[in-house]
Amino acid sequence: MNRERLAYLLLMHRLHRLSDDEAGELRRWLDESPRHEAWMKKALDAERMARSRRVSGLFDEERAWQRLAVRMKASRRRSFVARRWTAVAAAVSLLLLLGGGYWLSGLYRNAAGRTTVADVPEIYAAKGDITLSCNGLEKALDSKEYAVTDTNLIPANAQAADEMLTISVARGNSFRVILDDSTEVCLNSDTKISFPRRFDDKSRDVTLWYGEAYFRVTRQEARPFLVHVQGSTIKVLGTTFNVNAYADERQLATTLVEGSVAFRSRNNRDFLLEPGMQSRMDLQTGDTQIEHVDTSLYTSWIKGRFIFQSMDLTAIMRQIERWYDVTADYRTEVTDQYHFRGMIDRDLSLQQVLDILEQVTDLTFTLDERTIIISK
């Protein structure tokens, strides 16, 4: 049975609209091999996961558009962002993917005996250690939040008003810090930040060494809040913003959600951000660009989600590497070749995430211990 026909039968099956002849045709195909029933279950399970909103509309947008343009003989590109999948919308999207072969191509390769993620133990978020250090002392934190007013873990030095604390969050974890002024900082996986136990009277300075942090800054007109990161400075009075400063990214991104932010680049150029704006500083040259963005795409991690919009596969894999503490090994060229839209919950297993990516590309994702081998 060719892929187009199988896609149609699966769609009609999902909508409970198979004719008797079509039902018989699908049943005969299922009876041909035990693998066929596994393929069908895999496809329908992924669609149900999409409707549960643990995965929403993930697809390789360029390939999907090419396929849709051919089918509809469309002369111009239209928006195709699935925010809430009904059963019909999910099934139609499933048909587009299946019909294009980007789902089934991976399934048929599995039949040839290649090892897939289903053959290895499931891996979830790494849940690495979170540590608090001060004056040479280091303590492991087993909670999800720390307030600097808590002196039980590391007693405060009464003689040192500027005593510095550092929190390090390992891969696969996240954490929340409440600073001396009641400012809240959410820390993403693989992040390190330093701050004083008590701010002085002139300013509130913190250093983000690497990683990603979401700040809800308590407004104080007399004491600006300063974030020092990668040779740049972010100055605010009271606002909400996100800073992405991972070492393996090419740019430092500051995304403003509420309030206002003054960003000074490492080239000493100043930029004023308004809500919905993002500064992107090149980590090599210091050159900075400002653009308007959908802030939810850059803050989704605080709600436990990966959200992608026109994101290339290598950028997605960097997020997966940090969250699951794994390494991607590319055995084929994928740079700028695949771009994705969609949402995936971060509490899914690595197997589930890679399985989804395999279904919507013509690539194979194979796990070798903690290495993901990407090939065709």
Q: How many CB atoms lie within 10 A of CB 333?
A: 8
Contact 364, 114 (CB under 8 A): yes
| pLDDT value at residue 371 | 96
Query: Domain residue spans in the chain?
Result: 130-293
d(CA 375, CA 279): 35
Taking only the tens place, the pLDDT of each residue in 297-337 is 999 999 999 888 778 899 999 999 999 999 999 999 886 67
Rounded to a whole number of angstroms, the CA Rg of the chain reads 24
Residue 3: strand, helix, or coil: helix
Kindly report the CA angle at 374 between 373 and 376, in degrees rounded to 5?
130
d(CA 11, CA 47): 11
| pLDDT value at residue 43 | 66
| Residues across the chain | 376
Measured in whole angstroms, the distance separating CA 103 from the mean position of its chain's CA atoms is 21
| pLDDT value at residue 12 | 76
Contact 217, 236 (CB under 8 A): yes
d(CA 55, CA 348): 9
Mutual angle of helices 34-51 and 104-111, in 10-degree steps: 150
| pLDDT value at residue 83 | 33
Q: What is the DSSP string of 197-211?
A: SS--SS-EEEEEEEE
Query: Tokens in use for 38?
Result: 């596994």
| pLDDT value at residue 77 | 38
| pLDDT value at residue 106 | 36
d(CA 218, CA 203): 13
Q: How far is CA 185 from CA 91, 281, 298, in A?
A: 40, 22, 15
Q: Residue 312 carries which side chain, given as an amino acid letter?
A: D
Taking only the tens place, the pLDDT of each residue in 45-104 is 655 555 554 555 555 555 554 554 444 443 333 333 333 333 334 444 444 444 333 333
Strand partners, 372: 328, 367
| pLDDT value at residue 116 | 43
Fold of 130-293: Jelly Rolls (2.60.120)
Q: In what order do the strands lie in the sheet with 364-368?
A: 327-330, 371-375, 364-368
Pick out the chain residues at pLDDT < 50.
53, 65, 68-119
d(CA 256, CA 271): 12
Biggest CA-to-CA distance, the chain: 85
d(CA 42, CA 356): 10
Contact 236, 224 (CB under 8 A): yes
Query: Tokens in use for 284?
Result: 């090599």
| pLDDT value at residue 294 | 93
Contact 230, 244 (CB under 8 A): no
Contact 200, 161 (CB under 8 A): yes
